[in-house]
A and B are shown apart, each in its own frame.
Chain A
Amino acid sequence: MGGFLDKVVSSQFLSATLLTFELTVLSMLIGVAGGVLLALAKGGPRTLGWLVDGYVWLFRGTPVLLQLIFVFNVLPLWGLNLSPFTCAVVALSLNEIAYMAEIVRGGLLGVDRGQRTAAHMLGLSEVRILRWVVLPQAARLVLPPTGNQFVGMLKTSALASVVSVQDLMLTAQRQAAADFDYVGALCAAAVHYLVLTTLLTFALRWIERRLDVTRRAAARRDRRPPAAQPGTAALDPTAR
Chain B
Amino acid sequence: MEPRMTRMAAACLTVVTAVAVSACGGSGAGAPAGGAEITPPTGLVSSGTLTYGTAATFPPFESKSSGGGLEGFDIDMIDALASSMGLRTKALDTDFDGLIPALAGRRTDIVNSAMYITDQRAEQVDFVPYLVIGETLLTPRGNPKKISRVPEDLAGRTVAVTRGAIGETYMEAYNKELRAKGLTTMKIMSLPSNQDAMLAVKSGRADAFDTSTPGAATTLAESDDYSVAATFKNDTKIGIAVRKGDKKMAAALREALDLFVRSGDYTKLLRKYRLPAETDYFGAAKSASPSAGSASASASAGS
Interface of A toward B, CB cutoff 8 Å:
73, 76-77, 81, 84, 162-164, 166, 170, 173-174, 176-180, 182
For the complex, count residues of B whose C-beta is within 8 A of A.
Answer: 22
Q: Which of B100, B160, B163, B196 lies in contact with A174, CB distance below 8 A?
A: B163
| Top 10 A-B pairs, shortest CB-CB distance | A76-B203, A177-B164, A177-B97, A164-B189, A180-B124, A164-B191, A164-B190, A81-B204, A182-B101, A162-B192
Known contacts A173-B97, A173-B164; 17 additional CB pairs below 8 A are: A73-B196, A73-B199, A73-B203, A76-B203, A81-B204, A81-B205, A84-B205, A163-B191, A164-B160, A164-B191, A173-B163, A174-B164, A174-B190, A177-B97, A178-B169, A178-B172, A180-B123
Question: How far is the CB of A3 from the nearest CB of chain B, in Å?
Answer: 14
Q: Mark B198-209, 1 if CB is under 8 A from A, else 0.
A: 011001110000
Set of chain A residues within 8 Å of B190, measured between Cβ atoms? 164, 166, 170, 174
A179, B204: Cβ atoms under 8 Å?
no
Q: Does B210 contact A (CB under 8 A)?
A: no
Of all chain A residues, which has the CB nearest B195?
A73
Q: How far apart sit A153 and B167, CA to CA, in the bound complex (Å)?
A: 32
- Which B60-76 residues sit within 8 Å CB-CB of chain A? none
Q: How far apart sit A109 and B248, CA to CA, in the bound complex (Å)?
A: 69
Question: How far is the CB of B188 from the nearest CB of chain A, in Å?
Answer: 9
Question: How far is the CB of A72 from the nearest CB of chain B, in Å?
Answer: 9
Q: Is the interface of A mostly helix, strand, loop or mixed?
A: helix
Q: Does B168 contact A (CB under 8 A)?
A: yes
B199, A178: Cβ atoms under 8 Å?
no
Q: How far apart sit A76 and B199, CA to CA, in the bound complex (Å)?
A: 10
Question: How far is the CB of A101 from the nearest CB of chain B, in Å?
Answer: 31
Q: How far apart sit A76 and B169, CA to CA, in the bound complex (Å)?
A: 28
- Which B203-219 residues sit within 8 Å CB-CB of chain A? 203-205
Interface of B toward A, CB cutoff 8 Å:
97, 100-101, 120, 123-124, 160, 163-164, 168-169, 172, 189-192, 196, 199-200, 203-205
B163, A76: Cβ atoms under 8 Å?
no
A179, B101: Cβ atoms under 8 Å?
no
A81, B168: Cβ atoms under 8 Å?
no
Contact A178 to B120, CB < 8 A, known contacts A76-B204, A84-B205, A173-B97: yes
Set of chain A residues within 8 Å of B164, measured between Cβ atoms? 173-174, 177
B203, A180: Cβ atoms under 8 Å?
no
Of all chain B residues, which has the CB nearest A87?
B205
Q: Which residue, B123, B164, B169, has most C-beta atoms of chain A within 10 A? A: B164
Of all chain B residues, which has the CB nearest A162?
B192
A76, B120: Cβ atoms under 8 Å?
no
Set of chain A residues within 8 Å of B101, measured between Cβ atoms? 182
Set of chain A residues within 8 Å of B120, measured between Cβ atoms? 178-180
Of all chain B residues, which has the CB nearest A164?
B189
Set of chain B residues within 8 Å of A77, measured between Cβ atoms? 203
Question: How far is the CB of B161 from the nearest CB of chain A, in Å?
Answer: 9
Q: Which residue, A84, A166, A177, A178, has most C-beta atoms of chain B within 10 A? A: A177
Set of chain A residues within 8 Å of B168, measured between Cβ atoms? 174, 177-178
Set of chain B residues within 8 Å of A166, measured between Cβ atoms? 190
B191, A180: Cβ atoms under 8 Å?
no
Q: How far apart sit A163 and B203, CA to CA, in the bound complex (Å)?
A: 13
Q: How far apart sit A178 and B173, CA to CA, in the bound complex (Å)?
A: 12
Set of chain B residues within 8 Å of A182, measured between Cβ atoms? 101
Set of chain B residues within 8 Å of A174, measured between Cβ atoms? 163-164, 168, 190
Question: How far is the CB of B187 from the nearest CB of chain A, in Å?
Answer: 10
Set of chain A residues within 8 Å of B169, measured between Cβ atoms? 178
Question: How far is the CB of B190 from the nearest CB of chain A, in Å?
Answer: 5
Q: How far apart sit A92 and B285, CA to CA, in the bound complex (Å)?
A: 53
Q: Which residue, A81, A180, A182, has most C-beta atoms of chain B within 10 A? A: A180
Of all chain B residues, which has the CB nearest A182?
B101
Q: How far apart sit A180 and B125, CA to CA, in the bound complex (Å)?
A: 11
**Can you name 7 A-B residue pairings with CB atoms under 8 Å?**
A73-B203, A77-B203, A84-B189, A164-B160, A164-B190, A174-B163, A176-B97
Of all chain B residues, which has the CB nearest A74?
B203
